[in-house]
Amino acid sequence: MKTPSMVTKNHELLAVIPVNGIYILGVYKGSLSQYDILLKYRELQADGKWTRIRTPKHIHWAVDLLIKMNENEEDTKCFLEFLLKYWHDKVTPIRSEEDREYLLDVNRLLCEVESEASNYTGLSSSGVYSIKFLLLIAKLLMIQEKTNYEGAYMFGRVLEQLKNSKDIFRIVSAATHR
Protein backbone atom coordinates (compact mmCIF):
# COMPACT_ATOMS: atom_id res chain seq x y z
CA MET A 1 0.00 0.00 0.00
CA LYS A 2 1.26 3.42 -0.90
CA THR A 3 2.12 5.73 1.99
CA PRO A 4 0.08 8.93 1.74
CA SER A 5 1.63 12.35 1.62
CA MET A 6 2.04 14.42 4.74
CA VAL A 7 2.82 17.61 2.81
CA THR A 8 0.61 20.60 3.53
CA LYS A 9 0.66 23.93 1.76
CA ASN A 10 0.87 25.94 4.98
CA HIS A 11 3.63 24.21 6.95
CA GLU A 12 7.19 23.11 6.29
CA LEU A 13 7.53 19.36 6.87
CA LEU A 14 10.53 18.54 9.11
CA ALA A 15 10.07 14.79 9.65
CA VAL A 16 7.75 11.91 8.83
CA ILE A 17 7.47 9.15 11.42
CA PRO A 18 5.64 5.91 10.60
CA VAL A 19 4.21 3.99 13.57
CA ASN A 20 3.01 0.35 13.40
CA GLY A 21 1.99 0.66 9.75
CA ILE A 22 -1.20 2.31 11.01
CA TYR A 23 -0.14 5.88 11.76
CA ILE A 24 1.99 8.43 9.99
CA LEU A 25 3.08 11.39 12.09
CA GLY A 26 4.27 14.53 10.40
CA VAL A 27 6.34 17.03 12.36
CA TYR A 28 6.25 20.53 10.91
CA LYS A 29 7.87 23.85 11.62
CA GLY A 30 5.41 25.73 13.81
CA SER A 31 4.84 29.45 14.11
CA LEU A 32 4.34 30.12 17.83
CA SER A 33 8.03 30.42 18.63
CA GLN A 34 11.37 30.20 16.84
CA TYR A 35 11.72 26.43 17.33
CA ASP A 36 8.06 25.52 17.58
CA ILE A 37 7.01 22.18 16.16
CA LEU A 38 3.54 21.28 14.96
CA LEU A 39 2.25 17.70 14.90
CA LYS A 40 -0.21 16.21 12.43
CA TYR A 41 -1.05 12.60 11.67
CA ARG A 42 -2.94 10.24 9.42
CA GLU A 43 -4.40 6.90 10.42
CA LEU A 44 -5.05 3.85 8.27
CA GLN A 45 -8.70 2.88 8.62
CA ALA A 46 -10.17 -0.62 8.52
CA ASP A 47 -11.35 -0.06 4.94
CA GLY A 48 -7.75 0.51 3.80
CA LYS A 49 -8.15 4.26 3.34
CA TRP A 50 -6.11 6.89 5.16
CA THR A 51 -7.81 9.61 7.19
CA ARG A 52 -7.31 13.23 6.29
CA ILE A 53 -4.41 14.94 8.03
CA ARG A 54 -5.38 15.60 11.67
CA THR A 55 -3.89 17.65 14.48
CA PRO A 56 -3.70 15.75 17.79
CA LYS A 57 -5.18 17.50 20.79
CA HIS A 58 -4.76 16.80 24.50
CA ILE A 59 -8.35 15.60 24.69
CA HIS A 60 -7.74 12.89 22.06
CA TRP A 61 -5.07 11.02 24.00
CA ALA A 62 -6.78 11.80 27.33
CA VAL A 63 -9.95 10.02 26.18
CA ASP A 64 -7.89 7.09 24.94
CA LEU A 65 -6.17 6.86 28.33
CA LEU A 66 -9.57 6.92 30.05
CA ILE A 67 -10.59 3.92 27.94
CA LYS A 68 -7.33 2.17 28.79
CA MET A 69 -7.84 3.05 32.48
CA ASN A 70 -11.28 1.46 32.43
CA GLU A 71 -9.88 -1.76 30.98
CA ASN A 72 -6.51 -1.92 32.77
CA GLU A 73 -6.23 0.57 35.62
CA GLU A 74 -2.97 -0.70 37.09
CA ASP A 75 -0.95 -0.61 33.85
CA THR A 76 -2.49 2.71 32.82
CA LYS A 77 -1.52 4.31 36.12
CA CYS A 78 2.04 2.99 35.67
CA PHE A 79 2.07 4.50 32.19
CA LEU A 80 0.80 7.82 33.58
CA GLU A 81 3.53 7.74 36.25
CA PHE A 82 6.11 7.25 33.50
CA LEU A 83 4.72 10.20 31.52
CA LEU A 84 4.61 12.41 34.63
CA LYS A 85 8.20 11.57 35.49
CA TYR A 86 9.21 12.27 31.90
CA TRP A 87 7.30 15.60 31.98
CA HIS A 88 8.95 16.75 35.21
CA ASP A 89 12.46 15.33 34.80
CA LYS A 90 13.29 15.09 31.10
CA VAL A 91 11.30 17.52 28.99
CA THR A 92 13.36 20.47 27.90
CA PRO A 93 12.50 23.10 25.32
CA ILE A 94 14.04 23.13 21.88
CA ARG A 95 16.50 26.03 21.91
CA SER A 96 18.49 25.49 18.71
CA GLU A 97 18.41 23.86 15.29
CA GLU A 98 20.71 21.17 16.73
CA ASP A 99 18.17 20.44 19.50
CA ARG A 100 15.42 20.10 16.91
CA GLU A 101 17.53 17.89 14.63
CA TYR A 102 18.37 15.62 17.57
CA LEU A 103 14.73 15.43 18.59
CA LEU A 104 13.65 14.57 15.06
CA ASP A 105 16.21 11.82 14.47
CA VAL A 106 13.48 9.37 13.46
CA ASN A 107 15.49 6.18 14.01
CA ARG A 108 16.62 7.26 17.47
CA LEU A 109 13.15 8.44 18.44
CA LEU A 110 11.43 5.26 17.24
CA CYS A 111 13.98 3.04 19.04
CA GLU A 112 13.41 4.99 22.24
CA VAL A 113 9.62 4.77 21.94
CA GLU A 114 9.78 1.07 21.02
CA SER A 115 11.85 0.33 24.12
CA GLU A 116 9.55 2.34 26.41
CA ALA A 117 6.39 0.87 24.88
CA SER A 118 7.61 -2.64 25.69
CA ASN A 119 6.95 -1.81 29.37
CA TYR A 120 3.24 -1.29 28.68
CA THR A 121 2.23 -4.17 26.43
CA GLY A 122 -0.81 -4.77 28.65
CA LEU A 123 -2.30 -1.57 27.22
CA SER A 124 -1.90 -2.61 23.59
CA SER A 125 -5.30 -4.20 23.22
CA SER A 126 -7.41 -1.40 24.71
CA GLY A 127 -8.33 2.06 23.58
CA VAL A 128 -8.06 3.55 20.12
CA TYR A 129 -4.37 4.40 19.80
CA SER A 130 -1.41 2.06 20.05
CA ILE A 131 0.83 2.59 23.04
CA LYS A 132 3.75 3.45 20.73
CA PHE A 133 1.71 6.14 19.01
CA LEU A 134 0.52 7.55 22.35
CA LEU A 135 4.09 7.66 23.66
CA LEU A 136 5.37 9.38 20.55
CA ILE A 137 2.56 11.94 20.50
CA ALA A 138 2.82 12.57 24.25
CA LYS A 139 6.58 13.12 24.19
CA LEU A 140 6.45 15.45 21.20
CA LEU A 141 3.47 17.41 22.56
CA MET A 142 5.32 17.87 25.86
CA ILE A 143 8.38 19.24 24.09
CA GLN A 144 6.22 21.44 21.86
CA GLU A 145 4.47 22.89 24.91
CA LYS A 146 7.72 23.57 26.80
CA THR A 147 9.34 25.04 23.68
CA ASN A 148 6.57 27.57 23.31
CA TYR A 149 6.40 28.42 27.01
CA GLU A 150 8.98 26.99 29.39
CA GLY A 151 6.62 27.42 32.35
CA ALA A 152 3.90 25.40 30.62
CA TYR A 153 1.75 23.22 32.83
CA MET A 154 -1.23 21.98 30.81
CA PHE A 155 0.24 18.61 29.87
CA GLY A 156 1.31 17.91 33.43
CA ARG A 157 -2.08 18.98 34.75
CA VAL A 158 -3.90 16.65 32.36
CA LEU A 159 -1.64 13.76 33.41
CA GLU A 160 -2.26 14.51 37.10
CA GLN A 161 -6.02 14.64 36.57
CA LEU A 162 -5.97 11.35 34.65
CA LYS A 163 -3.92 9.68 37.36
CA ASN A 164 -5.72 11.02 40.41
CA SER A 165 -9.27 11.93 39.48
CA LYS A 166 -12.42 9.94 38.91
CA ASP A 167 -14.19 13.19 38.01
CA ILE A 168 -14.64 13.18 34.25
CA PHE A 169 -15.47 16.90 34.27
CA ARG A 170 -12.06 17.79 35.75
CA ILE A 171 -10.21 15.57 33.31
CA VAL A 172 -12.02 16.94 30.26
CA SER A 173 -11.70 20.48 31.58
CA ALA A 174 -7.92 20.10 32.02
CA ALA A 175 -7.55 18.58 28.55
CA THR A 176 -9.56 21.29 26.78
CA HIS A 177 -8.59 24.43 28.71
CA ARG A 178 -7.60 27.36 26.56
pLDDT 10s digits, 27-75? 999 999 999 999 999 999 999 999 999 998 888 888 999 999 999 999 9
Which residues constitute the domain of residue 85?
Answer: 57-176
* Confidence class for position 1, pLDDT limits 50, 70, 90: low
Is residue 66 in a domain? yes
How do residues 60-117 score in pLDDT, each as one tens digit?
A: 888 999 999 999 999 999 999 999 999 999 999 999 999 999 999 999 999 999 999 9
Is residue 86 in a domain? yes
> What pLDDT sits at residue 151?
83
Is residue 75 in a domain? yes
Signed CA dihedral, 34, 19, 131, 118: sign only: negative
Is residue 97 in a domain? yes
Is residue 138 in a domain? yes
How do residues 124-162 score in pLDDT, each as one tens digit?
A: 889 989 999 999 999 999 999 999 988 888 888 888 888
CA dihedral 43, 49, 55, 59 (to 10 degrees): -60
> What pLDDT sits at residue 169?
75
Is residue 52 in a domain? no
Whole-angstrom Cα distance, residue 109 to residue 157?
25
> What is the count of structural domains for the chain?
1
